[in-house]
């Protein structure tokens, strides 16, 4: 009698089938985890941008809040001016629509003159997933009241750019 070495075809097929079943269970959970991490990063970025806008207002009181996201950043070595404030990382400052974004999201920051003021006395920050339901499932926005607003993302969403639009999003507790 000859001794058999190795595995039979059936044994190998069973092992492959088990691996495929485990992968089918694990991959969707991995994708949901990545999406949740992207959303957490977007929330953190909105908080960082809120703080940056307030610092920008203190630094440039005659200008008010920054009118563009890029005004809050600056390329290293950075010399602070009202259009390159060097407050946030330039990677976040350039994560606008049409770019590669940051952690699956794109951002906008808009300074607004409200009530006939002489400077930008209000701001709105927006974050939208680059691919709704793939890189994130929620849009986020914030204003000078520091409340974080969110709504379910839809295909083709862009970050909000007006106070009125952000006010329609429910506030996150």
Tell how far CA 91 is from the center of its chain: 12
pLDDT the model gives residue 58: 95
**What distances in angstroms separate CA 42 from CA 4, 82, 103, one per listed residue?**
58, 25, 7
pLDDT the model gives residue 80: 92
pLDDT the model gives residue 1: 60
Rg (CA), the chain: 23
Q: What is the pTM of this model?
A: 0.84
| Cβ count near 50 (within 10 Å) | 20
Place of tokens 């009530």: 115
Q: Are 127 and 165 in contact (CB under 8 A)?
A: no
What is 97-119 written as a DSSP string?
TTS--BTTEEEEEEEE--TT-SS
pLDDT the model gives residue 29: 86
Task: Report which of 144, 124, 41, 48 is spatially closest to residue 87, judged by C-alpha positions.
Answer: 48
Question: Which positions ≥6 away from 99 have C-beta within 8 Å?
Answer: 106
Q: What is the pLDDT along the chain (173 residues), one digit of tens a residue?
A: 666 778 889 999 999 999 999 998 888 888 899 999 999 999 999 999 999 999 999 999 999 999 999 999 999 888 999 999 999 999 999 999 999 999 999 999 999 998 888 999 999 999 999 999 999 999 999 998 889 999 999 998 999 999 999 999 999 86
Whole-angstrom distance, CA of residue 113 vs CA of residue 110: 10
The terminus-to-terminus CA distance of the chain in angstroms comes to: 74
| Cβ count near 89 (within 10 Å) | 17
């Amino acid at each position: 009698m000859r001794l058999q070495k190795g595995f039979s075809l059936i044994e190998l097929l069973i092992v492959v089938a088990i691996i495929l079943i485990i992968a089918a269970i694990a991959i969707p959970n991995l994708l949901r985890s990545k999406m949740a991490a992207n959303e957490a990063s977007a929330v953190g970025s909105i908080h960082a941008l809120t703080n940056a806008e307030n610092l920008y207002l203190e630094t440039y009181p005659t200008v008010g809040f920054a009118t563009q996201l890029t005004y809050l950043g600056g390329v290293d070595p950075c010399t602070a001016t009202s259009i390159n404030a060097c407050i946030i990382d330039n990677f976040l400052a350039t994560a606008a629509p049409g770019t590669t974004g940051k952690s699956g999201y794109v951002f906008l920051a808009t300074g607004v003159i409200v009530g006939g003021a002489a400077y930008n006395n209000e701001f709105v920050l927006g974050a939208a997933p680059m691919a709704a339901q793939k890189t994130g499932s929620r849009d986020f926005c914030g204003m000078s009241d520091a409340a974080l607003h969110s709504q379910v993302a839809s295909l083709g969403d862009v970050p909000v750019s007006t106070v009125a639009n952000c006010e329609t999003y429910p506030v996150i507790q």
